[in-house]
Amino acid sequence: MEHSTEIDQSYEYSKPHSRTPEEGRAVRKKILMVTALLSVITIVEVLIGIYYSKTHVSPGTWQAIKWFYIVLTLVKAGYIVLVFMHLGDERKNLRTTILLPMVLVIYFIFICIFEGNNILQYVQDILK
């Protein structure tokens, strides 16, 4: 056999590395900061949910709150993926490979919400 089918990948593994105590502290500090941020966002979301219920605000305000929720969720998701999952530290081609397919989801959301609204309208028109 000319080529071995076993490819030595050992050099690709995340090898342990020595670091100074200061570097270790910096890493832990970043983790704690992100934790605090995620907790604060969750608390804000719950408080808005309690005090600005859909029935207590005007439709326009509710629409704004809805988008605010979505933005907060995306911020939370971004921090989890980029910091906790270390995607921010990966190579750019890996980042693109993972994040780009999610564009399809946005399109699918648009289709389904649009269609859902239209079906509701259609049913209400029939019942009229």
Interface positions with other proteins (CB under 8 A): 9, 11-19, 24, 27-28, 31, 35, 38-39, 42-43, 45-46, 49-50, 53-55, 66, 69-70, 72-73, 76-77, 80-81, 83-86, 89-91, 93-94, 97-98, 101-102, 104-105, 108-109, 112-113, 115-117, 119-120, 123-124
Looking at residue 118, its amino acid is N
The tokens describing 116, both together, are 């859902």
Residue 5 or 124 having the CB closest to other proteins = 124
Closest approach of other proteins to the CB of residue 45, in Å: 6
Tokens 């030595």 belong to residue: 8
Closest approach of other proteins to the CB of residue 68, in Å: 10
Residue 1 or 10 having the CB closest to other proteins = 10
